[in-house]
Amino acid sequence: MSALTPNRIHIMMRTHTLRTSLVAASLLAGLAACDNDKLTAVNANPNQPESVQSSSLFTNATTATMSRIRGSSFEHGLSGLWDQHYAEIQYAEADLNQPRNATTEAHWTGFYSGPLQDYKQILTQSASNPNQVGPALVMRAFVLETMTDIWGDIPFSEAGQGASNLTPKYDTQASIYDTLFASLTKAATTMNHSPANPTYDAADPVYGGDSDEWIKLANSMHARAALRISQVDKAKSTAELAKALGGKVFESNTDNAFITWPGGAVANPLCLNWVAPSGSDCGGQRDDQRLSQRFVDTLLANSDPRIYKYADSTTASKAGATPCDVPFRGFPNGHSSADIPNPCSPKHDNFGLADYSRPTVNIRLHDSKSYIMTYAEVLFIKAEAAERGMWGSPADAKQYYIDAITASMKQWDVDPADIADYLARPSVQYKGGAAGIQQIAYEKWVALFNQETEAYAEYRRLDYPVLKPGPEAVTSTIPTRLPYPDIENSLNSTNLKAASAAQGSVDISGKVWWDKP
Domain boundary among 351, 366, 398: 351
Other CB atoms within a 10 A radius of the CB of residue 196 amount to 8
* DSSP code for 39: G
Domain boundary among 450, 483, 502: 450
Q: Give which of 507, 445, 481, 516 is closest to 148, Cα–Cα.
A: 481
The answer to whether residue 503 sits within a structural domain is no
The answer to whether residue 109 sits within a structural domain is no
Answer yes or no: do 324 and 389 share one domain: no
Distance (Å) of CA 90 to CA 66, 137, 277, 334, 344: 25, 38, 19, 11, 19
Q: Which amino acid is at 211?
A: S
- Dist. CA 300–CA 302, nearest whole Å: 5
Answer yes or no: do 329 and 396 share one domain: no
Answer yes or no: do 379 and 436 share one domain: yes
The answer to whether residue 391 sits within a structural domain is yes
Q: Are 476 and 467 in contact (CB under 8 A)?
A: no
Bridge partners for 331 per DSSP: 292
Q: Which parts of the chain register pLDDT below 70?
A: 1-50, 277-281, 345-354
Q: Give which of 112, 148, 120 is closest to 11, Cα–Cα.
A: 112
Q: Which CATH number does the domain housing residue 423 bear?
A: 1.20.120.840
Q: Give which of 437, 76, 432 is closest to 227, Cα–Cα.
A: 437
**pLDDT of res. 326:** 87
Q: Is 230 helix (H, G, I), strand (E, B) or coil?
A: coil
The answer to whether residue 501 sits within a structural domain is no
The answer to whether residue 486 sits within a structural domain is no
pLDDT tens profile 361-399: 889 888 999 999 999 999 999 999 999 999 999 999 999
- Dist. CA 250–CA 378, nearest whole Å: 7
Answer yes or no: do 335 and 379 share one domain: no
Domain count for the chain = 3
Answer yes or no: do 383 and 446 share one domain: yes
Residues sharing a CB contact under 8 Å with residue 509, sequence separation 6 or more, in sequence order? 475, 477, 479, 480
The answer to whether residue 168 sits within a structural domain is no
* DSSP code for 476: S
Rounded (10°) CA dihedral 286, 288, 290, 294: -150
Answer yes or no: do 445 and 379 share one domain: yes
Q: Are 497 and 157 in contact (CB under 8 A)?
A: no
DSSP states of 360-407 as a string? Answer: PTTTSSTT-EEEEE-HHHHHHHHHHHHHTTSSS-GGGHHHHHHHHHHH
**pLDDT of res. 20:** 31
Angle, in degrees to the nearest 10, between helices 211-228 and 234-245? 160
Q: Are 400 and 408 in contact (CB under 8 A)?
A: no
Distance (Å) of CA 444 to CA 74, 138, 379, 416: 20, 23, 10, 20
DSSP states of 408-465 as a string? Answer: HHHHTT--HHHHHHHHHSTTTS---HHHHHHHHHHHHHHHTTT-HHHHHHHHHHHT-S
- Dist. CA 228–CA 248, nearest whole Å: 20
Angle, in degrees to the nearest 10, between helices 211-228 and 452-462? 30
Domain boundary among 428, 450, 472: 450
Burial class (CB in 10 A: 0-12, 13-18, 19+), 427: exposed
Q: Is 139 helix (H, G, I), strand (E, B) or coil?
A: helix
Answer yes or no: do 380 and 442 share one domain: yes
pLDDT tens profile 180-230: 999 999 999 999 989 999 999 999 999 999 999 999 999 999 999 999 999
Rg (CA), the chain: 24
Residue numbers of the domain that contains 37: 6-43
- Dist. CA 380–CA 470, nearest whole Å: 29
The answer to whether residue 298 sits within a structural domain is yes
pLDDT tens profile 418-474: 999 999 999 999 999 999 999 999 999 999 999 999 999 999 999 999 999 999 999
The answer to whether residue 440 sits within a structural domain is yes
